[in-house]
Structures are given as C-alpha cells and as structure tokens.
Structure 1
Amino acid sequence: MSMSGPRPPPATLQTPGFAHYSVTWSPFHNTRLAVASAANFGLVGNGRLHLASVSANPGGMLALSLDKQFDTQDGLYDAAWSEIHENQIVTASGDGSLKLWDIMLNDHPIRAWQEHTKEVFSVDWSNLKKDTFVSSSWDGTVKIWTPERPRSLMTLNAHHSCVYQALFSPHQPDILATCSTDGTLRIFDLRAPAYASGPNTNSFTNPLSASMLTVPASHTEILSLDWNKYRPFVLASGGVDKLVKVWDCRMVKPGAEPGAVGGSCETQLMGHEYAVRKVQWSPHRGEVIATASYDMSCRVWNTAPPAGQPQLMYINDAHTEFVVGCSWSLYDQGVLASCGWDSRLNVFRV
C-alpha cells in the first residue's frame, strides 16, 4: 500500500434512488457485501437492504453485481452480518426497529424488534459472543440482543443524547464502546453493571448506565469509532471536527472506579475537509485505518510509519456526494469498500 503508481478505477454499483448509509462484508463469504440505504437521503421514505457480490476478471480488475434487495418502510442506517448464521443479517432502521433477515428467503424479515423510541443508527454483531448483537439509537440508549429473545437482554443509558455508534471489543466479549453527540467516547463493562435500586425496579424499565471510562474526545459530535484489532483498549474516533484521533485507554483496568475520565490521544490524522463519518481499522494491519468523510473522499492512513508522523497512503475520490461508509474485506488484504449518498458502492484495491 502506497500513494505511488497508477491504480485501476474502483468497481462501482449504482442503486438509483437510495442513498447509502453503511456497507459491510460478510464474515463467511469473501465476495459478499451488504449495503444499508434510504430514499430521500434518509429524511423520509423507504429503506432498502442491497446484497452485492464482487468478482475479479482474469486481469485482476474487480467487478460488482447486485444479487438481491429487501425493501423496508423506513430508511436503513446500518447492517451487521450474523456471526453464527452465514445467511442472516440484522438492520437498523429510522423507525426505531431492528430486523433480522435471511437472505435465502424473500420479502420479509424473520424477526423484528421495536424498543428504541428514535432512529437506530448503528448495529454490531459480537465476533466473540457470537449469539449477541448491540444497537445504538438517537434516544441515547444502547441495547444488547440475542436473535432468540423477543426483547432486549440489557439496556444502557449510554449518553444523554444521540448515540451514533456502539461496538463490541474484538478482544473482550463483555466490553463495548460508544460515541455520541456529546463529544465523548464511553467504554462499558457488561459484567459489572450499576443496577437501579429500589423496589420493583429492573434493567428494562430502569436501564443500566455506569460507564467504566469516559473519554472527552472532541468539543463537537463524534460520529464514528472503532477498536484496533491488534491493540486492546486502543480506539479511533472521527467526527464533526474533521479529525481522526487514536486513543490509548489501556491505563484503565476492569474494576476501576465507574465513570473514570481518561484516555490519551496518541495520534491525530488531519486532512479531511469536512466531518469524518466513518473510521475502520484494517483487520490485517494494526497500524492502518480507513476513513470516510463528507468531503466526498475515502482515505487510508498509516498511523505508525517508520518515520514517525502519520502518513496518508491512499485517497479514493470517486464519489460525488458524502461518503458515509467504508469496510475492509476480511479475506483480501488491501481491498476496501466505500459507499455514499451518491447511491454508489465502490470496491477498490488500496
């Protein structure tokens, strides 16, 4: 990966009328992608889940094809593949619902949940506790789910405002991180919750809320975060301040005082001209991260090059609208997907 040399154009798939909100690769199939999208830029109208596959011609050029789609009554903001069923995927919707789909079936979801009171903006499936997924909502809560239960297992009052993303740690099954409109990252340990006390209280009507660490990451909204796959308690954040920041939170041990404030910023990546909407660490290289921005670009960075200063490795500026999603292939090192409000899915080699 470097900035030198000509590169082939990305493989592109257009989905007219539906602005993309997120893209994710299947953990089971190295050619399969899912895209969550919404009509009218998610402001009003229907949603659509697109299933696409990527292939390479004999010359190595990538190509994309649309395999299937599922329509919903409200916009879709995120999707996460099941870690236990290769054909199942959960979606997050603007009407506050979560839906589980089997891509081998047609038309209707196989399960649906309706607990959030506002838009569900992110969903993440644990790759350690593989029967569990988490959702985050504009209602300020984060909910833990399993597909077999009709109601959530746990609710966290994570922030007092919109929770843009919640992600399970790839290192410890009971640790998750959140980011919010309030400019903070928070880390929760699900093994040590602070229950509401008193008669007739329970974790459903009186949600759990104590974070083990709060990181004051920005004076403006934090739109995205991601755990480093190789360094426990190292996270990246991106948001309205146009910066990508790398945080080292390892000084906080499980059992520290609830609500501790800390985390040191070890690196800042500067260069995006507008808000950073998505950050994702490479699953193959611990120092490499991809970012997607409202400046219509998707970028790849080396956060720890030999020279010491973070290095911009690649810019994909093939989009014509906000770039809001990016996702690394889990199987093919250096293959990245990006999606945006231009209804365009791009897949390219970095």
Structure 2
Amino acid sequence: MTSLISSLSWIPRGAAAQNPTKYAVDETELARIQGLAKGQLDAAKLELEIAQMMENDGIGLDDDDEEGADGENGDADWEDEEENDAAMEVEGDAVMEEDDADAATSAAAAAAKRIKAAAKGNGAGKADENGKDGGDDEDELAKFNLDDYDKEESRGAAMGAFSNIKGLTYYGDNADDPYITLEAKQEDEELERQELEIRPTDNLIVAAKTEDDVSQLEIYVYDEAEENLYVHHDLLLPAMPLCLEWLDFCPGRTGDDAASQKGNFVAVGTFDPEIEIWSLDVVDGLYPDAILGPPPKDPNAPQPPTPSITDSTPSTDASGNKKKKKKKAKKPKVVAYAEYHVDSILSLSWNRAHRNLLASASADKTIKLWDLARPTSSPALRSFDTLHADKVQSVMWNPKEPTVLLSGAWDGTVRVFDSRAPDAGVGTKVDSDVECLRWDPWEPASFLVSMDNGTVQSYDSRMLSVAKEPASVKRSKALWTLSAHDSSVSSIDINPLVKGMIVTGGTDNMVKVWNIDEQDSGKRNISLVTARDLGVGKVFSASFCPDDPTTLAVAGSKANLQIWDTATNPGVRSIFGDRLRALGKDLSKTGAGLIGLADDNEDDFSSDEEEP
C-alpha cells in the first residue's frame, strides 16, 4: 500500500502556543460541525440520486452488440429469479406461521399447567396421600412469609438519615481518603500539560503523511539543543494531502482587532477541491477551523444536466434480427469556476505582507486568491483562469513585492504577474514540466525553476517578455542552467540565512547541497558541495529551517522524516564556514548529523554482543 510524506512545512520558533489546548466540543462547535456535516451529507445524497438515475437509464455501460443481447436475456432471467424469490418468500412465511402457531399452542399449554398447579397448591397438597407435591409448594412459598407481608412495621422513620453515622469512616485530611482522587487527577493533568508543552526554542514541523488509506498531519517537535525529534500530535484528513502552507492569520475573524490577532495555522491542499485550515495549537482536533472551497450543495436546487448520450441505430445479426445497443455516456468535462476550485489543490502560498491573502494553484488550470478575513463560506476573492493551459503545479508570492505572484504549470510555462493586473504579466517557456518554484530572497527579481527533466534554471523576471495568454508565451534566456539530478527535481529550496546555499531533492533518492558563488564581475560559479541519500526514498520535500542556517528537513516516499544538520559535513564547513561563523554557528559538531524518530522495535542491546 502507499506510504509517503508528500509535503513538509517548518513552523518558526515562538509561533506555537506554549501550552496547546485540548479540542472541546461545546454547543457552538457542535452546531458548526453539524452544519458542515449536513452539507456534505446532502451533497452525497444528491450524487447518489444522480448516479441511480443514470444507472436506471442505462447510462455508462459500454458493451458490444452481443453483450447487449445477452443483457436483454439477462433482464428476463432476473425477472424469473425475482418471481421465484417471491414464491419462496410466500412459502417461507406460511411455514413460519405454522411453526409460530405450534410454538404458541405449546407455550399456552405449559402456562395452563403451571396455573393449575398453583391453584391446587393451597389444599391439594394436603389431600395428596404422599404429600410430596403440595408440601414442596408450601415450603417454597412459606419462606417468603406472604401472609404477614402487610403486618411488618416500617422502621425507616425511626432510623433517620444519620442513624448509622457511628459506622462511617472519616479522615482528617482529604489526602488520606482513598475515595477522593482529585489530587491524583490534578497531578495527571499537570503531567499531561508538561508533556504537551512547547518551549520557545522548539521548532515545529508539519508533515503531510499518507499510510495505506489513512491520511493525516503529523506535527513534530524538533529540539536542536537536545537533538530530539518526536511526534507531538496528529490530525486526521479526509483525503490525501498534496501541499502545506503555514500562516498566522486567524481565518474568518472579523472586527477591528482581527488583523492584529495572530495564531498558528496550516493550510492543507488535497486531492479534493477544498482547502482546509487547521489550528496547530489545538490537540486532537476533529474538524478544521475553516474550509475554502465549493459551498454545500442544496438538494432543492435544480438538478445538473446528465451527461449526453450517444444514440446508435439498431444493428442486425446474420439472421436479420435486430439487436439493441446499450447507451454510452460521454465522460464529463471538468469546467473551471471563478468562485472555487473543481480539482485537486497542488500548491498554496500565504502572503506575509497582506496576511489575509492566500493563493492556491489547482489541477483545474486556475489560480485563485482567498480573503481569510471574510466568512469561511465566502467564494474566492479572484480567479486567474487564462494564465496556463495545463495543471498549475506551483505558485508563490514575491517576498519583497507583496502583490506579485509567480506560477508554473505542466504546460511548460512560467508566469510572473501582478495580482491587480494579470494581463500585463510576463512569462517564459521552459524545457520541461515545472515541478517547483522559489523566489530568491537575496535577489527579489530572480527566481529558480526545477523541472521534470532533472534541471534547474534561474531567471530574472525583468528580462521576460510580456504574455497575455499561454499561446503567446515566448522562451527567454536563463541566467544559468544546472543539471541537478538524473530524474525529476521534485523539491528545491534557497537558504534564507546563508547567501548562495541551495538544496535540491529528486526522485533519484538524492539530496544535494549547492553553492552559487557570484563574483563582482557578474560571473556565477555553481558547484556541488555534498550529495547524500538520507534513506527517505524518492525525495518529495526538502526545506531549510527558518531559524538555523544548516538544518534541513527531508521526507519522501518511505514516509519517514529526517533532520540533517549539514554543518557536520566537511564540504559544507569548508565552503560556507566563513558565512556560518558570521552567523554564530557552532561548527565543532561531527558525525552523521542525522536525527530521526526512534525505532520502537529497536533492541536495548546490540545483537552483535555475545555472552562469554
């Protein structure tokens, strides 16, 4: 079965609440969940009714003429079987009625015998010569003393509520009472609070994990000082996750202080056309804080048109008999909407300058903007439908120009445009399908593109040509081209703390660290610093820690997360040593520099040790 981690997201230090809260279902939360669940239930019922209607009309079956003839005979056979089943049910009901009548007669006879025996119990026993039956009945009833039942005096009033108080045990201190467990409960709660506590020096890492048919978000805590990594809590997802984006804006909040409030949230894109936003400060959450996507379907709304049917004239066989051909339904075409996505969410990007804006890229070939300050049921703020001719794989806001977006798609084009005037944007053709995009934090006008053919290219957005539609995009000259991997470059990241340090990850299982040395003359020297197989399988995500210059988080097709301190590598210390020392990085560490989850099945003793 499938087991993988498709995406990772770092949470900066200090962004998470020190003491996360437990998920509580109060009346308000219950009403919100019921509303969301009812909408999904109504949508499922509507889809089921449409499917049943199509099935009754014979839509969706693609059989040849012979199968069509067999299908007609098969219908007749089913009718006969239904008649036989009905006859068998009638016979079975008759047999059951006879059995029930016999059982009722037997039960009535037995009850009559018991009543008759009880009636004779008062005097028949004495009349019996042997006296066995009557005596037994009298002895059986005598122990209940039924004759004096109404003559017993009630002592309830005389006893009183505290008549037996001398027999009660009491303690001078509640701590000595074994039945008072409040203190033990408080100790358990304090212990649990300490276990869930997140220190200001801890980093959180969110991993989008799928194992077999179960998808979830795993929230890891990474303590750099102790070199410790563990799972803090997890959140179940309804579909396989594809992308993650951290944000601190509280979705759906209104009021004057809504913009100033900060939280700890993650937006999740899945195979469903919905974006879920979860709070990372709530443990054991059941429902997301917000869902951006299609509104719940109204069962009372007009039904959508059924797929068109291709009618064919009846064909004839060798004997001249006409044979009826089954109806065939055309595959419905995905139609993009301006208000929401209709296909998988492939990429997300949060605007750190305008904190209420979230951009999303989808397999429906569109890019949409969402205003998180509006009610969560609101449609998309804006939709860009004509920028790409194929699935949009990646989208990213410019860190210095907060209104500029960068996007790349499987149509082999990269677009740079202002969200206020997308028609005036620029673009370029690339050599292969786009896998990942990154703005250069050190050069705000430049960006990197990783592609399916294993190459990485750098472009200056100021040198790209204007393009209004995908067909008008022309090829521009790249600043440099790097053959990074033997297969697809599925992940790329630029170190935000060390200039010239980038990392690439590919489906060839390799993670590579590169150095881009820009000289004063404008010439660039690109060199490989180190390459390593971290044992995560095909690399799907590799990203630098936002708080430490040499820490990498890597995950892939083997569904395990690895933390790599690249400062332990001699090549990294040699090439980036001066830049790292300027940041105060300790370069005295040695060893593999890998930190992962402890194996539960790992033995305490080495298997190589033998007793003398």
For normalisation by structure 1, the TM-score amounts to 0.82
Counterpart pick for 1:124 among 346, 349, 353: 349
Q: Residue 252 and residue 308 in structure 1: after superposition, are their counterparts in 2 closer, same or farther (change >3 A)? A: closer
* Cα RMSD after superposing both structures: 2.2
Q: Map residues 321-340 of structure 1 onto 2, 5 A cutoff.
A: 321-340=537-556
Question: 1:261 Cα shift?
Answer: 4.1
CA contact (8 A) 1:83 1:125 kept: no
Partner of 2:184: none
Question: 1:263 Cα shift?
Answer: 4.4
Q: Map residues 120-269 of structure 1 onto 2, 5 A cutoff.
A: 120-149=345-374, 150-157=378-385, 158-193=387-422, 210=423, 212-218=425-431, 220-251=432-463, 258=468, 261=474, 263-269=476-482
CA distance in 1, matches of 2:413, 2:243: 21
Q: Residue 69 and residue 308 in structure 1: after superposition, are their counterparts in 2 closer, same or farther (change >3 A)? A: same
Tell me, yes or no, if structure 1 residue 109 matches structure 2 residue 326: no
Tell me, yes or no, if structure 1 residue 72 matches structure 2 residue 72: no
Residue by residue over 1:270-327, the C-alpha shift from the partner in whole angstroms, topping out at 9 and shown as x without a partner, is: 2411100111111113322111110111211112266943111222311242101111
Gaps of 5+ in 1: 1-15, 194-209
CA distance in 2, matches of 1:65, 1:327: 18
CA contact (8 A) 1:186 1:211 kept: no
Question: 1:65 Cα shift?
Answer: 0.7
Partner of 2:273: 96
Question: 1:125 Cα shift?
Answer: 0.9
Residue by residue over 1:221-270, the C-alpha shift from the partner in whole angstroms, topping out at 9 and shown as x without a partner, is: 111110000112201011111001111222359xx675664643112222
Which of the pair is proportionally richer in helix? 2
Question: 1:130 Cα shift?
Answer: 1.5
CA distance in 1, matches of 2:290, 2:360: 15
Partner of 2:30: none
CA contact (8 A) 1:39 1:75 kept: no
Structure 1: which amino acid aligns with 2:362? S
SS at match of 1:250: helix
CA distance in 2, matches of 1:257, 1:179: 14
Which of the pair is proportionally richer in strand? 1
CA distance in 1, matches of 2:220, 2:205: 5
CA distance in 1, matches of 2:235, 2:416: 34
Structure 1: which amino acid aligns with 2:550? G
CA distance in 2, matches of 1:234, 1:54: 32
CA distance in 1, matches of 2:475, 2:13: 37
CA distance in 2, matches of 1:295, 1:47: 25
Question: 1:181 Cα shift?
Answer: 0.6
Structure 1: which amino acid aligns with 2:455? L
CA distance in 1, matches of 2:400, 2:444: 6
In our comparison, the structure showing a higher alpha carbon Rg is 2
Partner of 1:31: 203
CA contact (8 A) 1:101 1:111 kept: yes
Q: Residue 297 and residue 211 in structure 1: after superposition, are their counterparts in 2 closer, same or farther (change >3 A)? A: farther
CA contact (8 A) 1:299 1:312 kept: yes
Q: Residue 174 and residue 180 in structure 1: after superposition, are their counterparts in 2 closer, same or farther (change >3 A)? A: same
Gaps of 5+ in 2: 15-201, 250-261, 294-339, 567-612
CA distance in 2, matches of 1:146, 1:317: 41
For normalisation by structure 2, the TM-score amounts to 0.48
Tell me, yes or no, if structure 1 residue 21 matches structure 2 residue 6: yes
CA distance in 2, matches of 1:184, 1:27: 32
SS at match of 1:23: strand
CA distance in 2, matches of 1:181, 1:286: 30
Runs of 4+ in 1 over 6 A off after TM superposition: none
Counterpart pick for 1:53 among 216, 221, 224: 221
Question: 1:185 Cα shift?
Answer: 0.8
**Higher RCO by CA contacts (8 Å cutoff, separation 6 or greater):** 1
Q: Residue 271 and residue 280 in structure 1: after superposition, are their counterparts in 2 closer, same or farther (change >3 A)? A: closer
Structure 1: which amino acid aligns with 2:273? G
Residue by residue over 1:79-124, the C-alpha shift from the partner in whole angstroms, topping out at 9 and shown as x without a partner, is: 1111433421111011111001012222210110222111101111
Residue by residue over 1:165-205, the C-alpha shift from the partner in whole angstroms, topping out at 9 and shown as x without a partner, is: 10001110110111111111111211224xxxxxxxxxxxx
Partner of 1:278: 491
CA contact (8 A) 2:536 2:554 kept: no
Percent pairwise identity: 20
CA contact (8 A) 1:123 1:133 kept: yes
Structure 2: which amino acid aligns with 1:152? A
Partner of 2:585: none
SS at match of 1:303: strand
CA contact (8 A) 2:456 2:484 kept: no
CA distance in 2, matches of 1:55, 1:126: 28
Tell me, yes or no, if structure 1 residue 302 matches structure 2 residue 515: yes
